[in-house]
């Protein structure tokens, strides 16, 4: 899956670059940061997705409160307001939900490791690098994005 960590105080999102499918590594250099344009509102924003390509694509297109199929477990960080606000978009009881983050948070298969490392004082990048050493679905280059 992936490990993506948001360190609130520093305003940094760090993320790995490993993508897998059916137990195979497809790439360890994939940039999981995506720049999108919303035609309805004319907003530009970034997303950092965790889950399958289908789950991430679904969460990009559905609005808050919309129903999702039972198989969708994806989640993402969404940067809005010119990259100043960070939101966690996920599925809760079959609907798309989004919460603004004002604290450290991480998503993906290595989330628990990364969050624990941030709680003991590691940066977002250090936390993802350390999570990659334990989580078999996270790895490759660790990149940073500063808000």
Count of domains observed in the chain: 1
Domain that holds residue 107: 3-146
CATH of the domain at 26: 3.60.20.10
Query: Tens digit of pLDDT per residue, the chain (147 long)?
Result: 799 999 999 999 999 999 888 888 999 999 898 887 666 655 667 888 888 888 888 888 888 899 998 888 889 998 887 777 899 999 998 999 999 999 999 999 999 999 999 999 999 999 999 999 999 999 999 999 998
What is the reported pLDDT for 33? 87
Contacts of 17 (CB under 8 A, 6+ apart): 27, 28, 29, 30, 31, 32, 139, 140, 141, 142, 143
The count of residues in the chain is 147
DSSP-derived secondary structure letter, 1: -
């Amino acid at each position: 899956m992936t490990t993506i960590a948001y360190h609130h105080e520093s305003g940094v999102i760090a993320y790995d670059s490993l993508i897998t499918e059916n137990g195979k590594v497809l790439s360890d250099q994939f940039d999981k940061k995506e720049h999108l344009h919303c035609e309805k509102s004319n907003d530009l924003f970034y997303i950092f997705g965790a889950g399958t390509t289908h789950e991430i694509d679904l969460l990009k297109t559905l609005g808050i409160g919309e129903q999702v199929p039972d198989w969708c477990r994806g989640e993402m960080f969404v940067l809005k307001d010119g990259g100043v606000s960070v939101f966690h978009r996920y599925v809760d009881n079959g609907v798309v939900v989004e919460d603004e983050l004002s604290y450290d948070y991480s998503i993906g298969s290595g989330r628990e490791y990364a969050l624990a490392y941030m709680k003991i004082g590691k940066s977002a990048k250090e936390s993802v690098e350390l999570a990659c050493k334990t989580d078999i679905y996270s790895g490759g280059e660790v990149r940073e994005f500063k808000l």
